[in-house]
């Protein structure tokens, strides 16, 4: 019953956007983009933070008209920066933290645009990467770990900024081809060609990137940083083949195939492998 209601709801929204595209294509495209880029989960309330974040030193940074939040678990001079994915926040790392803390490192987690305690309603990878760059300049991490779209943002960040201080990166359950994600959204709402072309034009005008080039595989091909990629064969959110695409173009990277973890990638054995990759010579 719930699936039927959701199906009718999404198709009704698509029908409205398609109708609007005949009257005002620009407004229809903007509405389609807003719905696509606005997360509906992952926000936090400052007075009701998850316990794992209450024990941190938090800091708010400004970037243009936006603000973003970081959380620090104090350790030694080795620093790890954690980058969450879509409709999540810094608390998603709770299960991994005990393993990372074994290294004695200082651990920083960031809230992405429109997530956690960070401002805004829109999530996009270039803005997230700009947040990461500010955090990197402030905290000087040697290691980046990203999950899902956070992993893709890490790839985009290192491809664009080419930061030599980043020694190793771990990418968990990350998508490669952005066009697949956008086409799935268009298909879900049954949006017409006017909206489809309008969305592609919007990304080209605002982010100066053609969708076919907004690819984790392409980003990875420009990176010299050592990398570990892990992806689950049962991931129904981001297909397993996406992880293999990234690994295929990242020279010298290590690819780990997991089974039964789904998209969350929470697993003790995997965390041990991540720790070994980061700290074993």
pLDDT band at 7 (very low <50, low <70, confident <90, very high): low
C-alpha 20: how far from chain center:
31
| Spatial contact of 104 and 75, defined as CB atoms under 8 Å apart | yes
| The pLDDT of residue 105 | 98
- Kindly report, residue by residue over 64-104, the tens digit of the pLDDT: 999 999 999 999 999 999 999 999 999 999 999 999 999 99
- Kindly report, residue by residue over 10-69, the tens digit of the pLDDT: 889 999 999 999 999 999 999 999 999 999 999 999 999 999 999 999 999 999 999 999
Gap between the Cα atoms of 254 and 247, Å rounded: 7
Gap between the Cα atoms of 30 and 133, Å rounded: 28
Gap between the Cα atoms of 271 and 269, Å rounded: 5
| The pLDDT of residue 3 | 63
Cut 0.75: pTM above it: yes
Ordered structural domains, the chain, with CATH: 1-37+178-209 (no CATH), 48-177+215-279 (3.40.50.1820)
- What is the percent of the chain where pLDDT is above 90? 90
Mean pLDDT in residue range 121-132: 96
Q: What is the largest CA-CA distance in the chain?
A: 62
| The pLDDT of residue 10 | 83
| Spatial contact of 63 and 129, defined as CB atoms under 8 Å apart | no
pLDDT band at 210 (very low <50, low <70, confident <90, very high): confident
Q: Return the higher-pLDDT residue of 208 and 154.
A: 154
The whole-chain average pLDDT of the chain stands at 94
What contacts 198, CB < 8 A, 6 or more positions away?
21, 25, 26, 28, 29, 32
Contacts 24+ apart (CB under 8 A), 202-208: 202/29, 202/30, 202/33, 207/124, 207/126
């Amino acid at each position: 019953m719930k699936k039927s209601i959701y199906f009718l709801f999404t198709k009704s929204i698509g029908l409205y956007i398609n109708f609007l595209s005949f009257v005002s294509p620009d407004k229809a495209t903007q509405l389609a983009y807003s719905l696509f880029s606005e997360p509906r989960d992952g926000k936090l309330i400052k007075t009701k933070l998850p316990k794992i974040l209450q024990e941190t030193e938090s800091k708010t940074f400004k970037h243009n008209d936006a603000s973003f939040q970081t959380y620090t678990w104090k350790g030694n001079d080795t620093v790890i920066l954690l980058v969450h994915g879509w409709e999540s926040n810094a608390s998603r790392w709770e299960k991994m933290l005990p393993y990372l803390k074994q290294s004695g490192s200082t651990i920083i987690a960031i809230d992405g645009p429109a997530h956690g305690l960070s401002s805004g309603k829109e999530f996009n990878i270039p803005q997230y990467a700009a947040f990461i760059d500010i955090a990197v300049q402030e905290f000087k991490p040697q290691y980046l770990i990203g999950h899902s779209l956070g992993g893709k943002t890490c790839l985009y960040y290192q491809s664009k900024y080419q930061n030599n201080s980043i020694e190793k990166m771990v990418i968990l359950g990350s998508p490669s081809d952005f066009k697949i994600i956008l086409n799935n959204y268009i298909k879900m709402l049954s949006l017409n060609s006017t909206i489809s072309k309008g969305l592609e034009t919007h990304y080209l005008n605002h982010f100066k990137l053609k969708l076919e080039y907004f690819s984790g595989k392409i980003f990875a091909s420009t990176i010299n940083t050592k990398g570990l990629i892990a992806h689950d064969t049962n991931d129904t959110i981001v297909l397993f083949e996406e992880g293999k695409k990234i690994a295929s173009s990242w020279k010298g990277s290590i690819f780990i195939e997991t089974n039964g973890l789904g998209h969350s990638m929470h697993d003790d054995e995997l965390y041990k492998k991540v720790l070994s990759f980061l700290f074993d010579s």
